[in-house]
Amino acid sequence: MSTTLPPFEEIVSTHGPTVLRVCRAVLGPMDAEDAWSETFLAALRAYPTLRPGSNVEAWLVTIAHRKAIDQARARTHRPLPVDPLPERAAPSEADRSDGDLWAAMQALPFKQRAAVAYHHVGGMPYADVAALIGGSQDAARRAAADGIAKLRKTYGEGGPR
C-alpha cells in the first residue's frame, strides 16, 4: 500500500479473528486466548520495525507459531492430562459450536495440526508453512493432507462437508 505502517489498531481489527482461529486450531480453545494475547503483545512490540507492505497475516501467524510451541512445550510439562475441555471461563455459545472440530484437531500430531492450522485456517502458503514447521514444502503439504484425512475420519463424517 504505502510507505508507512497503519495504526496497530487496524492490524488487530483486520487480523485478530483469523489469528484467534489459528490459535484455537493449534492449541484448542482453552489455551488459544493466552496465545493470542502473547502474539499481539509481541507483535505490538516489534511493529515499528516491520517493513511497510509486508504480509502482516503471515507475520502474525509466524509469531503465533512461536507462542504455540512455547505453550505446547509447557503443556507437556503440566502434571496431568488434560481433558480436552477442562473448566475455565466458558467460551461463548458461538465459539463453543466449533468445539468438536477443535477437539478433533487436538488429536493430531503437532506437525499435522500446525500445517492444517497455518494453511487451511490461516491461509498461509505451504512454502511459508514449511519454513515454520521445518522440512520441505512437499512435507508440509503432506502433513496438512494427512491431518485433513484424519479429521475427515474423526470429525468429518457427521460434520459439514
Partner 1 sequence: MMTTHEPGEPERSDLFVGLTAIDEGTMRRLHGRLVREAQTEGLLDVAYRTIDSPVGPLLLAATAKGLVRVAYQCEDHEKVLERLARDLSPRILHAPARLDAAAKEIDEYFAGLRRGFELPVDLSLASGFRRLVLARLREIGYGQTASYAAIAVAAGNPKAVRAVGTACATNPIPVVVPCHRVVRTDGSIGQYVGGVEAKRTLLTLEAAA
Binding-site string for partner 1 from residue 8 to residue 47, where x marks contact by CB under 8 A and - marks none: xx--x---xx--xx-----------x--xx--xx--xx-x
Closest separation in Å from C-beta 76 to partner 1:
26
Q: Within 13 Å of residue 15, how many CA atoms lie on the same side as its CB?
A: 26
CB distance 43 to 2 below 8 Å: no
Q: Out of 85, 98, 139, 142, name the contact with partner 1 by CB under 8 A.
A: 98
Cell numbers describing residue 138:
512437499
| Max Cα-Cα span within the chain | 50
Task: Looking at residues 45 to 84 of the shown chain, list those that interact with partner 1 (rule: CB under 8 A).
Answer: 45, 47-48, 51, 54-55, 58-59
Closest separation in Å from C-beta 17 to partner 1:
4
Q: In whole angstroms, how far apart are CA 77 and each of 60, 82, 83, 105?
A: 26, 12, 15, 20
CA distance 1 to 91: 36
Q: Which residues bind partner 1 (CB under 8 A)?
A: 4-9, 12, 16-17, 20-21, 33, 36-37, 40-41, 44-45, 47-48, 51, 54-55, 58-59, 91-92, 94-95, 97-98, 101, 116, 119-121, 123-128, 141, 148, 151-152, 155-156, 159-161
